[in-house]
Amino acid sequence: MSKQKKYELIEAYLGGDLDEKQKKGFEKEIASDKDLANEVKLHKKIQADIGDPKKRALRGILAELRLEYSKSAIPDNVRQLQPPRNIRRILSIAASVTILGMAFWYFLLKDPAEQQQIADDGVVPKEEQVKPPEIKPEIPVDVSPSDPSNLAQNNNTEKQSPEEKTPEPKENQPQEIPSFDAYAVNPDLEQLVANIEASPFDFEMEAPLSNMQLTRQNGKVQLGVLGTLFTAEFPEEDAFVIQVFDNRPASYTNNQPVFRSKMNFEKAEDEQDISFAGEERDIYYFNLRENLTIELGLYYWVIALEKGGTVVSSGKVLVNEQE
């Protein structure tokens, strides 16, 4: 068989153009000829990859965007993170009409005092653009793990009160310790992790990452909380707090984290601001290490503003024994 005929047969087979008899015969050949099997596999992969029009389109656009972003790049040693100005120019043409329209509409809806403030400032306040997930207003200033009016409680205004969730054990009755799967998911915390909303605080976590596995060694687990915060509005009057909860529903609803700490930030003075689609933000680093004595299982971490309550980052980690 000529190579051309072989290719055509492979293509007809992959395209489903062979009749049943031809198909069975060809499959028999594939089963007995490893080289042919490899050839068919390669044709199939090429067809699925280059033959995918959507992927071709995506690659084409990515190649263009790469070029546009490279053209506008300022040398690395000058300002690596400067955004591509030409992209902004291009986008601004299309966006300007929309923005003007939206601004006008927004202006019309505002009361006169706010209109004046916007006119003075020239910008719409950030919190008006994207409403951060507001937690109950009556959040206490001092949040401690033992305090029932707590961050976790306030994360979900629909929650039952702790009293409803955890009835007091009756006196003189042996307290049953329910067998609890230490790796079972906590639906409330799953919900929280999946629904972090936009806030002016962009936390880029290097650790912990969601679904990260931590290992316990000699009864201790090293928790590292490190990463970068990008924000134009660092909350000088508030603080960020990290809490780690085990997976028991009551631990979260009663705000009994296994670990809680305020976070310290170091502003990156040596670097220039970073721009996010035109908005300049400062860069802050955080790096917290703690050795925890905790059981094996599933844990959730939640970073939130202490006073404001806004949850800005969360995720889950598995704690396993060092093998």
Partner 1 sequence: MPLMKEKEEYYLNAIISGDRTGLEEIYAQFFPRITHLITKNGGSRDDAQDVFQDAILILYEKVRKDDFKLSSNFYTLLHGICRNILGNRLQKSSFKEVTLPDDLKYTTGDDIEQDIFILEESQLFWDSFKLLGDDCQKLMTLFFDRVKMKEIMKMMGFGSESYAKKRKFQCKEKLIGFIKQDARFNELKNK
Q: Which of the stretches 96-104, 111-119, 142-150, 206-214 binds partner 1 when contact is defined by CB under 8 A?
A: 206-214
- Closest by CA to 187, choosing from 253, 269, 258, is 253
CA distance 54 to 58: 6
How far, CA to CA in Å, does 49 sit from each of 66, 165, 183?
Answer: 21, 53, 38
Can residue 191 be called a binding residue for partner 1 (CB under 8 A)?
no
Per DSSP bridges, beta strands 311-321 and 212-217 are parallel
How far, CA to CA in Å, does 28 sit from each of 23, 32, 184?
Answer: 9, 6, 48
* Residue pair 226/136 in contact by the 8 Å Cβ criterion: no
For partner 1, the closer of residues 127 and 204 by Cβ is 204
CA distance 94 to 231: 27
Taking CB under 8 A as the criterion, the residue among 14, 162, 275, 297 binding partner 1 is: 275
For partner 1, the closer of residues 53 and 137 by Cβ is 53
Can residue 195 be called a binding residue for partner 1 (CB under 8 A)?
yes
Can residue 73 be called a binding residue for partner 1 (CB under 8 A)?
yes
Tokens describing residue 226: 């490190």
For partner 1, the closer of residues 196 and 263 by Cβ is 196
Can residue 80 be called a binding residue for partner 1 (CB under 8 A)?
yes
For helices 20-32 and 34-49, angle between their N-to-C axes, nearest 10 degrees: 120
Can residue 237 be called a binding residue for partner 1 (CB under 8 A)?
no
Taking CB under 8 A as the criterion, the residue among 116, 222, 264, 291 binding partner 1 is: 222
Can residue 50 be called a binding residue for partner 1 (CB under 8 A)?
yes
Can residue 119 be called a binding residue for partner 1 (CB under 8 A)?
no
Can residue 58 be called a binding residue for partner 1 (CB under 8 A)?
yes
| Helix, strand or coil, per DSSP, at residue 158 | coil
For partner 1, the closer of residues 7 and 180 by Cβ is 7
Can residue 280 be called a binding residue for partner 1 (CB under 8 A)?
no
Task: Enumerate residues 6+ apart whose C-beta is below 8 A from 219.
Answer: 293
Taking CB under 8 A as the criterion, the residue among 23, 44, 85, 88 binding partner 1 is: 88
Task: Enumerate residues 6+ apart whose C-beta is below 8 A from 9.
Answer: 1, 18, 26
Q: Which residues bind partner 1 (CB under 8 A)?
A: 3-4, 7-8, 15, 42, 45-47, 49-51, 53-62, 65-66, 69-70, 73, 76, 80-81, 83, 87-88, 91, 94, 130, 193-198, 202, 204, 206-213, 222, 224, 226, 228, 230, 274-278, 283, 315
